[in-house]
Amino acid sequence: MIKNEQKFLGVEAGGTSICLSIAINKPSNVIERTSIPTTSVEETKNKVLEWVKNKGGNNIGAIGIASFGPIDLDESSETYGYITTTPKPNWGQTNILGWFDDYKCPKGFDTDVNGAAISETFHGLHKRGEITSCAYITVGTGVGVGCVVNGSCIHGLVHPEGGHSFCKIQDGDKDFQGTCPFHGNCIEGLVSTGAISKRLGINADKLSEINDDHPVWLIIGNYLAQLCANITCLLSPQVIVLGGGVLNRSILYPIIRTETIKILNGYIKSKYLTNDFIDQYIVQSPFASHAGSIGSLELARRALIKNSKDF
């Protein structure tokens, strides 16, 4: 149980920016929030710690860090708390959890997408009502997949990296080699903002000028539907939540839903995999861009509760 007033610090570390949030007693009760660009490691670290200090860091009861990855989640590892083999230049082997060593309070640490999946599972506003399992997919400069099953985030060898799984290449897209520096045409290498802009021969900041009827969106929608179908077959979550900058394009949702049903081809029997209810299975986040920050605050809350049980 959380007794008296508790202040939580949430750190949602993304490849583009780091969102810092402070909440009182529960993750949804946010009283302070800011965003800091993810530039160099040292510059970003200094700005983050300066903000936390100015907001009364010594009074923080618990900290939750939800970070872009891959990250090391093995608490017995010498690099626990590190960002490891990230494609983001100069951020590999960054001890992001160690930034907060001076704060002697409980800390929770997980991927940014697992944080978002937590927020969607336990603090979401879905038509389904209360749920215990969820997959969260974010599509932007990268593609991340976070998974909660039976109320807990999936951890194993490391953590889910569904964005780097593979799919069947569309006939009209076979000449595109993909952009992932590790795998070429994995999901991330096919549907990220960099992949879409390279395929079209434009800068990423011009993607908003591409019309909804451009055939590229049918290709992107199909690849994301393949990812949704694979997640459905592997994990059978109650809800798949889509987020990130690419998914701000609303035309993608009906494409993804329709293609997912086609791909599964009636094999999995559920009313939520039919035209009448698919919009309750593959959904847009009710938290919009704040799903990850709410998740980081939930990691802090859970760390505090776990710590109280340890004593």
- Helix 112-123 × helix 291-309 angle, to 10°: 80
- pLDDT (tens digit, 9 = 90+) per residue, 67-116? 998 999 999 999 999 999 887 889 999 999 999 999 999 999 999 889 88
Q: What is the pLDDT of residues 225-278, one digit of tens each?
A: 999 999 999 999 999 999 888 999 999 999 999 999 999 999 999 999 999 999
Going from the C-alpha of 5 to that of each of 26, 61, 229, the distances in angstroms are: 10, 9, 43
CA distance 234 to 224: 15
Q: CATH 3.30.420.40 spans which residues of the chain? A: 7-112+290-309, 126-285
Query: What CATH number does domain 126-285 carry, 3.30.230.10, 3.30.540.10, 3.30.420.40, 3.40.960.10?
Result: 3.30.420.40
CA–CA distance, 40 with 38 (Å, rounded to integer): 7
Check residue 69 and give its pLDDT: 85
Check residue 3 and give its pLDDT.
Answer: 55
pTM: 0.83
Average pLDDT of the residues in 135-151: 91
Q: Is 110 exposed, middle or buried (0-12, 13-18, 19+ CB in 10 A)?
A: buried
Alpha-helical regions (H) of 124-251:
187-191, 193-200, 216-235
d(CA 222, CA 229): 10
- Whether the per-residue pLDDT at 2 is higher than 80: the answer is no
pLDDT, averaged across the chain: 92
- The structure tokens listed for 108 are 């929770």
- In this prediction, residues 141-157 reach a mean pLDDT of 88
Give the number of residues written for the chain.
311
Cis ω before 106 (30° cut-off from 0): no
% pLDDT > 70, the chain:
96
CATH T-level topology, domain 7-112+290-309: Nucleotidyltransferase; domain 5 (3.30.420)
Find the mean pLDDT for residues 149-170. Answer: 89
Gap between the Cα atoms of 88 and 188, Å rounded: 14
Confidence of residue 124 (pLDDT cuts 50, 70, 90): low
Q: What is the pLDDT of residue 1?
A: 46
